[in-house]
C-alpha cells in the first residue's frame, strides 16, 4: 500500500522505513517498520522484487538522505538534479531555509539506441492550463518504444508543511494537495486524526461525507469522459459532458458553499448540515442527470469512429497492472478487483449496496467504461443515503490526541485509494504526515500503456489515466 521514511532521531535515535500492507480478508492494515541507524544511513531496495514501490523508494534518498542499495534506477526523483545536497524532511532542516541557486546539473534521461531511433520531447511546459511534466518519447518510425516521465517540477513540500501547523489548519492544507480531490484528501486526513484521538464521527456526518465523496467522483468522471471524447475529436460529446459536470458543480456549491467541496470537511465530521431543501436539490439533480447521462453514454456508444480510436489503444495488461500495484480506475480496467469502499469500508459505505466494475481489456475504452459504470453506481449510492439521513449532529469535538500516536486515514478517491499516515506531536501538531495520492502509484503505468502506440494517441491514453501532477508532486 505504501512505503515511506521517518526521521525519529530526536526520540529513538534512528530513522525508520515504514512498510504498509493491506489484508483484504481482515479488512485491515498492518505496518512494519525497520530502523535505519544514522551511523549507517542505508536501506535495501525492494523494487526488483516488488516494482510497485519504485518511486516511493526513490523519494527517500532525496527527502531524507538515506542511501538506497540495489535499486535499478537510483537517480533523483522528488528533488531535481539542481537541488543542493540537503534533505528537507529531516528534522534538522528548517522550513524557512533559503537555498542558494544551484546551476550546472541537468537531468540525464536514459538513452535508447538503435537504427532509426529518435527522441521526441514533450513538455515540461504544456499548451493546456496544466502543471508541468516532461515526457521523452523514444520512437522508431511511428511506434513508441519507450516513454520516460520526469515530474516533481512543482514539489511544494506539503508533508513538511503539515509538521508546522495546528491540526485544524492541516485540513485546509490537505484540501490543496490535489484540487480535483479536495474533499477526498481532507476526509482521509480527518479520519487519521480522528483515529489518533479515538473519536467516533456521528452517523449523520458519515453519510454526508459519503455523499460528498460520490459527488466528487461523479463530476470528475463526467469531465474525464468528455475529455476523452475531445481527444478523439468528438467535441459534441464533450459539450454534453461539460454541461452535466456544471450541474453537479452547482449542486456542490448549494450543499457546501464551494463548487469543489472545499471547506466542507472538518475534524469530527462536516462543517455544514443539510435541510429538506438541500435533500430536494439532490433528488432533483438525480432525476434529471440520470437520463441525461444515459443519453451521453448512448451518444458515445453509437459512434463507431470513437470506439475505433479507443478500443485496443493504450493497453495495460492485468499482469503489468498487478506488478506495478496500479490502483483505482486504471487497476479495475485491467482486472484488479480492488476498491476501498467495499474492501475496507469507511464513511457510510457499510450501509449501501453497490457493484465495483472490473474489466480485463485494460485499454482506453475500458478505462472510460469504468468511469461510466461508477457514475451510475454513485447515483445509486447517493439515492440509498441522501433520502434517509440519520438524525443527530454532523460534528463532534476532537480533543488534542496524545503525542506519539500513529494512525492511518484512507478513502477511495475518484482516481483511486488515498492514504494519510500521521504521527502526532505535542501541542496539537504532527511529527510526521505521509501522503499517498493514487497518481504517485499510477504514473509508471502510463509508460507501459503507451508502448507500441503512436505519439498522436498519447493525449487520449494520458487522459484515460488523468493523473494528478499536484497530487504526485505534493
The residue assigned the cell 492514504 is 419
Who contacts 365 (Cβ-Cβ below 8 Å, separation ≥6)? Answer: 307, 310, 311, 312, 313
Sign of CA dihedral 217, 218, 224, 227: negative
Secondary structure letter of residue 454 according to DSSP: B
| CA dihedral angle for residue 157, residue 162, residue 165, residue 169, rounded to 10 degrees | 110
Distance CA 355, CA 218 (A): 15
Q: What is the pLDDT of residues 211-237, one digit of tens each?
A: 999 999 999 999 999 999 999 999 999
> For the segment 70-97, what is each residue's pLDDT rounded down to a tens digit?
999 988 889 888 888 889 999 999 888 8
Q: Count Cβ neighbours within 10 Å for each residue of 359-395 and write b for 16 or more, e otherwise.
A: bebbbbbbbbbbbbbbbbbbbbbbebbbeebeeeebb
> Residue 123: what pLDDT?
83
Res 110: pLDDT: 80
Task: Kindly report the average pLDDT of the chain as a whole number.
Answer: 94
Residue 106 pLDDT greater than 80, yes or no: no
CA distance 256 to 182: 13
Residue 58 pLDDT level (bands cut at 50, 70, 90): very high
Is the CB of residue 10 less than 8 Å from the CB of residue 91? yes
**CATH of region 159-463:** 1.10.645.10
- pLDDT category at 105 given cuts 50, 70, 90 is low
Say if residue 129's pLDDT is above 90.
no
Q: Phi first, then psi: give them for residue 444, nearest 5 degrees.
A: -60, -25
Give mean pLDDT, residues 55-67.
Answer: 95
Q: Determine which helix (DSSP H) or strand (DSSP E) holds 206, and give its type and residue range.
A: helix 203-231
Give the tens place of pLDDT for each residue, 42-53. 999 999 999 999
Fold of 2-108: Beta Polymerase; domain 2 (3.30.460)
| H or E segment to which residue 118 belongs | strand 117-122
User: Among the listed ranges 117-131, 186-200, 308-322, which one has the minimum average pLDDT value?
Assistant: 117-131
Residue 97, pLDDT score: 85
Report the C-alpha gap between 461 and 474 in whole angstroms. 24
The mean pLDDT of 364-387, rounded to a whole number, is 97
Give residue-wise pLDDT tens across range 449-466.
Answer: 999 999 999 999 999 999
In this structure, are residues 181 and 473 in contact, taking their beta carbons and an 8 Å threshold? no
Confidence of residue 28 (pLDDT cuts 50, 70, 90): confident
**Which grid coordinates belong to 68?**
538506497
- Whose cell is 496500479? That residue is 326
Q: Please give the distance of CA 258 from its chain centroid, rounded to a whole number.
A: 21
- How far apart CA 212 and CA 382 sit, in angstroms, is 9
Domains 2-108 and 159-463 share a fold: no
What pLDDT, on a 0 to 100 scale, did the predictor assign at position 104? 62
**Beta-bridge partner residues of 137:** 120, 147
DSSP output for 23-61: EGGGTEEEEEEEEE-TTS-EEE--TTT-GGGHHHHHHHH
CB distance 417 to 327 below 8 Å:
yes
Sketch the domain layout of the chain as residue ranges. 2-108, 159-463
**Entry pTM:** 0.95
Amino acid at each position: 500500500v505504501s512505503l515511506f521514511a521517518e526521521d525519529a532521531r530526536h526520540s529513538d535515535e534512528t530513522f525508520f522505513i515504514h512498510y504498509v500492507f493491506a489484508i483484504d480478508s481482515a479488512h485491515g492494515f498492518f505496518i512494519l517498520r525497520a530502523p535505519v541507524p544514522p551511523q549507517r544511513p542505508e536501506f535495501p531496495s525492494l523494487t526488483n522484487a516488488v516494482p510497485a514501490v519504485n518511486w516511493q523508494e526513490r523519494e527517500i534518498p532525496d527527502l531524507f538522505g538515506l542511501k538506497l542499495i540495489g535499486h535499478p534506477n537510483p537517480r533523483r526523483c522528488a528533488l531535481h538534479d539542481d537541488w543542493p545536497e540537503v534533505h528537507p524532511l529531516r528534522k534538522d532542516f528548517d522550513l524557512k531555509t533559503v537555498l542558494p541557486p544551484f546551476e550546472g546539473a541537468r537531468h540525464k534521461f536514459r538513452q535508447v539506441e538503435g537504427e532509426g531511433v529518435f527522441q521526441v520531447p514533450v513538455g515540461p511546459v504544456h499548451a493546456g492550463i496544466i502543471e508541468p511534466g516532461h515526457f521523452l518519447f523514444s520512437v522508431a518510425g511511428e511506434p513508441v518504444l519507450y516513454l520516460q516521465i520526469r515530474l516533481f517540477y512543482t514539489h511544494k513540500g506539503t508533508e513538511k508543511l503539515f509538521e508546522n501547523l495546528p491540526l485544524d489548519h492541516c485540513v485546509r492544507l490537505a484540501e490543496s494537495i490535489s484540487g480535483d480531490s479536495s474533499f477526498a484528501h481532507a476526509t482521509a486526513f480527518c479520519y487519521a486524526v480522528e483515529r489518533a484521538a479515538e473519536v467516533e464521527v456521528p452517523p449523520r456526518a458519515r453519510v454526508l461525507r459519503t455523499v460528498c465523496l460520490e459527488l466528487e467522483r461523479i463530476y470528475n468522471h463526467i469531465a474525464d469522459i468528455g475529455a476523452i471524447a475531445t481527444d478523439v475529436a468528438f467535441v459534441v460529446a464533450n459539450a454534453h459532458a461539460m454541461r452535466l459536470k456544471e450541474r453537479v458543480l452547482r449542486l456542490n456549491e448549494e450543499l457546501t458553499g464551494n463548487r469543489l467541496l472545499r471547506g466542507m470537511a472538518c475534524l469530527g465530521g462536516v462543517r455544514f448540515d443539510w435541510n429538506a431543501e438541500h435533500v430536494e436539490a439532490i433528488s432533483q439533480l438525480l432525476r434529471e442527470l440520470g437520463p441525461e447521462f444515459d443519453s451521453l453514454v448512448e451518444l458515445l456508444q453509437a459512434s463507431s469512429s470513437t470506439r475505433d480510436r479507443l478500443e485496443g489503444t493504450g493497453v495495460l495488461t492485468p499482469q503489468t497492472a498487478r506488478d506495478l500495484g496500479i490502483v483505482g480506475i486504471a487497476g479495475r480496467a485491467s482486472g484488479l478487483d480492488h476498491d476501498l469502499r467495499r474492501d475496507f469500508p469507511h464513511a457510510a459505505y457499510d450501509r449501501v449496496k453497490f457493484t465495483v466494475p472490473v474489466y480485463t481489456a485494460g485499454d482506453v475504452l475500458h478505462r472510460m467504461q469504468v468511469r461510466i459504470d461508477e457514475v451510475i453506481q454513485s447515483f445509486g449510492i447517493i439515492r440509498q443515503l441522501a433520502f434517509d439521513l440519520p438524525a443527530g449532529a454532523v460534528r463532534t469535538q476532537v480533543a488534542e490526541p496524545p503525542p506519539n500516536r500513529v494512525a492511518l486515514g484512507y478513502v477511495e478517491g475518484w482516481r483511486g485509494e488515498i492514504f494519510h499516515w500521521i504521527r502526532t506531536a505535542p501541542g496539537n501538531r504532527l511529527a510526521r504526515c505521509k501522503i499517498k495520492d493514487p497518481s504517485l502509484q499510477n504514473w509508471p503505468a502510463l509508460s507501459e500503456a503507451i508502448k507500441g502506440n503512436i505519439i498522436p494517441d498519447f493525449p487520449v491514453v494520458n487522459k484515460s489515466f488523468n493523473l494528478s501532477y499536484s497530487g504526485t508532486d505534493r
